[in-house]
Amino acid sequence: MKALDIEAVQAFVLAADFKSFTRAAEALDTTQSAVSLKIKRLEDGLGRRLLERTPRLVRLSADGDAFLEAARNLIDAHHGAVAAFGIKKRRLVVGISHHIVGAELPMLLKRMGSAEPGLVLELRIATSREVLADFEQGTIDAGIVLRHDNRRRDGETILQEAFAWMAAPDFTHHPGESLRLATQAAPCRAIEALKVARIAWTEVFVGGGTTTIGAAISAGLAVAALGRRVAPSGTIDVGARLGLPPLPARDVVLHSNLRDRQSRDTLKLLAATIRATASA
């Protein structure tokens, strides 16, 4: 058997993690066809089919599942060999809106750490407006935010975040009562939507981010306007059932002035990881 191509093995691991050749290609800064070709050659060399391709999804075959841990170990060993003479540490400071990261944050950090062991990634979670202000003041290297208005039309759009009125399946609301709402401490467009629709509401919980708001709705305390992608597992969209106004989707935008290849590659991987959570 020929020696394994480390880049092909890395492409396989990313495609398996992201369940997408497109996301793997984004992370590797290459094309989908190039990723597909690398993995096909890897499969041919092993004499095993590692991934099952369908029009909507990429998933591990039985052989792929058996190979995945060994593939990760090979990549780790490769990083160790490259680092034999010492890894140059570098720090990247990224601000992310609390609307954009949720329960998938540990997976995101694991993926970033595996890809670049020498990276010290400093994440600052805040409101989109606070992150954008920090970026404009130069206190962070990059910012990932929800686009609130037309003040800034630059940046790379990573995805569109779909918002909905999320609650626990057993949340009860009686006609004539004010809607029990969990809100952010910062101004909320969802409240404006309720005012326009002339729907009475009352705050029963005020949180400082998606995690705390998510806990409140999972506990059945209230309804909250959250991105579907980051809403807690088990919560559901109750907007139609309660006659609540639709919430518009918002662009998730990456702002960065970094020009060096290494930092740009790191941000591509970060963006691809966030995109992957939209289809997970």
- Was domain 163-248 assigned CATH 3.40.190.10? yes
| Residue-level pLDDT at 86 | 58
CA angle (75, 93, 25) in 5-degree steps: 40
Kindly report, residue by residue over 143-179, the tens digit of the pLDDT.
999 987 777 778 899 989 999 999 999 999 988 899 9
CB 221 within 8 A of CB 132: no
Domain with CATH 3.40.190.10 in the chain: 90-159+251-278, 163-248
Q: Tokens standing for 30? A: 């290459």
Positions in the chain short of pLDDT 50: none
Pick the CATH number of 90-159+251-278 from 3.90.420.10, 3.40.50.300, 3.40.190.10, 3.20.20.140: 3.40.190.10
Instruction: Return the pLDDT at 186.
Output: 67
Measured CA distances, 250 to 99, 230, 241 (Å): 11, 14, 23
Domain made up of 6-85: CATH architecture: Orthogonal Bundle (1.10)
What does the pLDDT read at residue 60? 92
Contact 216, 205 (CB under 8 A): yes
Map residue 225 onto helix, strand or coil: strand
Provide the whole-model pTM. Answer: 0.73
- What pLDDT was estimated at residue 81? 78
- CATH 1.10.10.10 maps onto the chain at 6-85
> With contact defined as beta carbons under 8 Å apart, do 252 and 159 qualify?
yes
The predicted pLDDT at position 42 comes to 92
Cα 65 to Cα 239: distance, rounded to the nearest angstrom: 39
Per-residue confidence (pLDDT) for residue 67, from 0 to 100: 93
From residue 238, alpha-carbon distances to 118, 160, 170 in Å are 44, 21, 10
